[in-house]
Amino acid sequence: MIHSALINVMVKAARRAGRSLKRDLGEIENLQVSLKGPANFVSAADRRAEDILYEELNKARPGYGFIGEEGGTREGSDKTNTWIVDPLDGTTNFLHGIPQFAISIGLQREGTMIAGVIYNPANDELYIAERGKGAFLNDTRLRVAARKKLNDCVIACGLPHIGRGDHELARREMAELQPRVAGLRRFGAASLDLAFVAAGRLDGYWERNLKPWDIAAGLIMVREAGGTVSGIEGHDNALESGNVVCGNETIQTELVKILKPL
C-alpha cells in the first residue's frame, strides 16, 4: 500500500524504535525473576526508544517541534509542526512482559492533528491515520463498530493506579457502566485503546487525566475511522483536557450522558 512521504517517515521511525523495544522485551522476560525487577531497565528502554524516534523524525523533518514523554518539549524553528510522541505507551504492561504496549507518534499542524502512527512491536500491528485519508491497520482500512445499543457493547476504560487520579470517581464510573454494557475492559495502553476503537474491536473507550502523548495519534485514528471523540463533557477538547470519550457517534453520546454528571 502506498502512503504519503510523511507517513513513511513516521512508520520508519516507529519500526526502528519498535525493534529496540522488542529486543528489550526479551530481556525483561529474564529479569522478572530478579528481586529488584526490571524497572530501571524499562526506564532505559523507554529513553532509548525516544532517542531513536527523535533522531529519525528530526533527520527527516528538521525544524519540527518535538514533545516527548521522556525528554519534554524541544522547540523547533518551524512553529507550525509538532511531533507528539510516546516512545512506550503501556509501560506497566511492558514491565510485566504483557504484550499490550505501543509507540505512539502524532503530528500536529497549526493546532490540528494531521497524522498518527501507533505501532505495537510485540504483535507487529501498525496503525496509520492521515487527515482526510482514512485509518489503516496493516493496510486494511478501518471503520469503527456500528453497534448502537450500549448493552451490546464492549467498552474499555482507564483505571487510576496507586497514587494517581480519583479512585472514588473511577469506582462510580464503573458502577454506572458495568450493568449497562456487554463487557468492560482495562487494557493499559491508551494509544491502543483508541486504536482498538478505530478498528471496531472496542465499541467505545473513556479515560481521564491523560497526557497529549498518550492520545495524540489515537484521536486522529478514531476520527479517520469514522468515530467521534470528545472530552467528558462532550466538547471537542480531548487533547487539551486529557479526558477522552469515544466510539461511534451514538455510543460516544451515550457514554457522555452517563459520565458527565458523575
Binding mask 142-161 for ligand IPD (x = CB under 6 A): ----------------x---
Q: Which residue has the cell 457522555?
A: 256
Under rule CB under 5 A, residue 214 binds Ca ion: yes
Binding mask 90-109 for ligand IPD (x = CB under 6 A): xx------------------
- From the list 13-21, 79-87, 92-100, 172-180, the region that binds Ca ion by CB under 5 A is 79-87
Question: Could you report how far apart the first and last alpha carbons of the chain are, in Å?
Answer: 45
Instruction: Find the shortest distance in angstroms from Cβ 68 to ligand IPD.
Output: 11
Instruction: Find the shortest distance in angstroms from Cβ 158 to ligand IPD.
Output: 4
Instruction: Find the shortest distance in angstroms from Cβ 191 to ligand IPD.
Output: 7
Instruction: Find the shortest distance in angstroms from Cβ 91 to Ca ion.
Output: 5
Instruction: Find the shortest distance in angstroms from Cβ 151 to Ca ion.
Output: 31
Instruction: Find the shortest distance in angstroms from Cβ 43 to Ca ion.
Output: 10
Under rule CB under 6 A, residue 86 binds ligand IPD: yes
Under rule CB under 6 A, residue 50 binds ligand IPD: no
How many C-beta neighbours within 10 Å does residue 147 have?
A: 18
Phi-psi region of 37 (alpha: psi -120 to 50; beta: other; left: phi over 0): left
Binding mask 188-227 for ligand IPD (x = CB under 6 A): xxx----------------x--x---x-------------
At 187, list the grid cell.
487494557
Which one of ligand IPD, Ca ion, none interacts with residue 189, CB within 5 to 8 A by kind? Answer: ligand IPD
Amino acid at 199: A
Which one of Ca ion, ligand IPD, none interacts with residue 13, CB within 5 to 8 A by kind? Answer: none
User: Which residue, 117 or 210, has its beta carbon nearer to ligand IPD?
Assistant: 210
Interface with ligand IPD (CB under 6 A), residue from 56, 89, 130, 173 = 89
Residues at the contact surface with ligand IPD, assessed by CB under 6 A: 86, 88-91, 158, 188-190, 207, 210, 214
